[in-house]
Structure 1
Amino acid sequence: MQVAFLLLFYILSPFVILYLCHKYAFINKLGAVLMAYVVGIIIGNTGYFNGDAINQMQEIVMSVTIPLAIPLILYSSNLKKSFELAKSTFMSLLSALIALVVIVVLGYFIFKPIGNGNFSKISGLLVGVYTGGTPNLAALKMVLDVDVSTYLAIHTYDMVLSTLHLFFLMLIGKKMFELVLPKFVNQDNNIDDKWISEVAKDPYWGLLSKENRLPLLKAVGITFFIVAIGGGLMMLMPEKYQMAVFILSITALALVASTKDTIKDIPKTYELGMYLILIFSIVVASKADYRNFTNINPTIFYYVTFVVFGSMILHVLLAKIFKIDADTVIITSAALICSPPFVPVVAGALKNKALILPGITVGIVGYAIGNFLGFLISELLTLF
């Protein structure tokens, strides 16, 4: 009975969270993912839900939600638009990725505790979360077999530091960056309202409306097919690389599927994928011991801080070399460090709607490459 009730709670509680985000502006500003973690921590520390049967159910839910979420999130991506980015946006994206990898690798050698052979996993998680946000962080947790306490520590520190980073960009970033970078010149970008609606203006509302049910059922069917192929490929690999091959193969197959208009144009696939991410977030938070949050792990906290702000500074320096304007750097940083849903918010603060579409495109590219890049960096760092 406990298992069935808790499973039902995991499935339905995101509905309540999203309704509260829709109803109350201050909850919406906190964000659905943060609320999911709060709910999970509360339910997990009641002391009522424990035992082998519940632990087994939690592991199954976590193992199912992420592989299903990744394709759904990526179906609405547009690879063609990604290759059509303006030169300044593309160079800003490239500079940001270079800056992130350099700072993550440098931080690995600065903060790695002596004898800690698993510290490279943290590096991989940081690359993933600062290219693709929570979906890639959750996927790489599975790929790299990261324990729950480490995952939650990184996610907690990330939420705090990313919020500070976001406030900096919105409040004083433009004035500071324009001291060293050129000002933005409007190139008359066309704004794609469909894309913007995917990540702004209460996008979850109407997720299961009558007109969306059948198309979404089709998307779910395609997703199961992709996951089945990924599972088959996984079984052909040595055990050490099975999870990596599984996640990376479904990522690649989802990107291929997104090139088909009949799949890309299915409404609300991104939102359905993020709904599964919310379920995952509640489950993983409910498995955590509250006592883990009373003591900050200084090594991980300093490492995350170093990556968030160090990569931003290096990004600006590279942008100076490539003569990228301040607004483009800010929107790129917001898309990668904070994720695509924050792009319209930051664009609004900059009073520059022309950068919404490029910013969202940058974020979608981050979703697409984050799993690959995070796994690659983690594997390379194990050699040192």
Structure 2
Amino acid sequence: MEPMLNSTASLLAVMFMTISAGLYLSKRKPFTSFGPAIIVIIIGIILSNFKIVPAWADVYGVMFEYALPLSIAIMLLNVDLSGMLKLSKQPLLAMFFAVISVSIAAFVGGIFMAGSIPEGWKVAGMFVGTYTGGSSNLTAIGKALEASPETFAAANAADYVIGIPSLVLLMAAPAFMKGSKWFNKVWPYKLTDEELELEGGHDFMQPKEWSINDIAWLFGIGFAIVSVATALAKFFPAEYISMMQIILITTIAIIAAQFKPVKKLRGKMDLGLYAALFFLVIIGFMVDIRQFFSSTISISAYCAIVILGSLSLHILLCRIAKIKYQYVGISIMAAIADGSSAALMAATGKWESIISIAVVLGIVGNAIGNYVGISIGYLIKGMLGM
């Protein structure tokens, strides 16, 4: 059966409208907990499997090849190393424990489960990435490890099925931590109410302005980084080109982000997300629904092991190190979700003075997630001889 839409213009229209719909729905009930990434993938799967659009067309090619690398480059222009260096020891140590915990949980779980999961070692790397720096790392590592569309979609779906309930519980954690006598007896280390107050309030989630000038420069710098990284990656053996492209983009973007003119550019995360959604909607188009469902259950089980295992180990390490529980809370949220979610957690808990720290911890996780995730993936592959 031929797809209903085949022309370049119509397929471009579908892609742009799907992304617009994903962004719109992610702000409306009952879709607010989904996030635009999983929404555009699901819409793409429906459109393709119901033969509205083809699973592949030439027009997908350029966007599929460049949208994700461009997205990574633009989002990582948000990394401020000087801001990270100003952090006190405790929040950085809590974030370090988060990275160590998810790496150990994914590695141990991967050793036992990777053989029974399609592309299991790649899934392990993707989950390490997403639970150290957010869903953008999952996508980046999947691209670096050349995961199949079905694996991409199943990993995103598992992240939603297991990850979203975890985030909901974490959002409720500040009230529990403050109100529970048992918890405060077991974990007496905390910031005082005076230490958590911020003079003048905060601007988290407030409207921000950015202009066509910001967009033009971000696209220009982003494509330049991708171009240089892609050229350098070609000097490596063929089987490592995709991996090295992502590592080089990550490294060059972080270096570029330290220059003052780049720091002044606005809208980096927003524009980076928009570019990534083009890659994800095409992933949705490419998914065979039957293969998708056959792999989602096993990947979801592995995802649960990674989250529960890493949370348990992270909490244990932080308690041994006597880290104040507010720092533990935002480090967990920054690792499992991202900096903005961690900042939202801090804001809802009235931890105003550490909202900016929550954002920085998310950026730390985002910056190192690609390196750690790719390393764990290849380590499992080598250990299992896959």
CA deviations on 1:95-123 (whole Å, 9 max, x unpaired) are 11111111111111222337x79432221
C-alpha distance 380-189 of structure 1, shift in aligned 2 (>3 A)? farther
Secondary structure of 1:351's counterpart equals coil
CA deviations on 1:218-259 (whole Å, 9 max, x unpaired) are 121111211111111011111011111111111111101110
CA deviations on 1:150-208 (whole Å, 9 max, x unpaired) are 121111011121111112212256348645323421446869999x65xx3466xx6xx
Cα distance in 2 for residues equivalent to 1:20 and 1:109: 38
What residue in structure 1 maps to residue 125 of structure 2? 124
Q: 1:43 aligns with which of 26, 31, 47?
A: 47
Quote how far apart the aligned CAs of 1:270 are: 1.5
Quote how far apart the aligned CAs of 1:31 are: 2.5
What residue in structure 2 maps to residue 184 of structure 1? 190
What residue in structure 1 maps to residue 246 of structure 2? 247
Question: How many pairs align?
Answer: 371
CA deviations on 1:110-145 (whole Å, 9 max, x unpaired) are 22337x794322211111111122211111111111
Mark the runs of 5 or more structure 1 residues left unpaired by the alignment: none
TM-score by length of 2: 0.88
Aligned ranges 1:130-279 → 2 under 5 Å = 130-172=131-173, 174=177, 175=180, 178=184, 180-186=186-192, 187=195, 197=204, 200-201=205-206, 212-279=211-278
* Matched-pair contact (CA < 8 Å) for 2:74–2:222: yes
Secondary structure of 1:335's counterpart equals helix
Cα distance in 1 for residues equivalent to 2:285 and 2:86: 42
The percentage of counterpart residues that share the same residue type is 26
CA deviations on 1:290-316 (whole Å, 9 max, x unpaired) are 334544644322211010111011100
What residue in structure 1 maps to residue 92 of structure 2? 90
1:108 counterpart letter in structure 2: G
1:341 aligns with 2:323: no
* Matched-pair contact (CA < 8 Å) for 2:111–2:380: no
Cα distance in 2 for residues equivalent to 1:303 and 1:29: 21
Cα distance in 2 for residues equivalent to 1:9 and 1:95: 43
Quote how far apart the aligned CAs of 1:369 are: 0.8
Q: 2:102 aligns with which of 88, 100, 103?
A: 100
Cα distance in 1 for residues equivalent to 2:199 and 2:286: 42
Quote how far apart the aligned CAs of 1:351 are: 2.4
Aligned ranges 1:106-117 → 2 under 5 Å = 106-113=108-115
1:111 counterpart letter in structure 2: M
Secondary structure of 1:145's counterpart equals coil
* Matched-pair contact (CA < 8 Å) for 1:234–1:246: yes
What residue in structure 1 maps to residue 3 of structure 2? none
* Matched-pair contact (CA < 8 Å) for 1:107–1:307: yes
Cα distance in 2 for residues equivalent to 1:323 and 1:373: 26
Q: 1:72 aligns with which of 58, 71, 74?
A: 74
* Matched-pair contact (CA < 8 Å) for 2:133–2:335: yes
* Matched-pair contact (CA < 8 Å) for 2:150–2:292: no
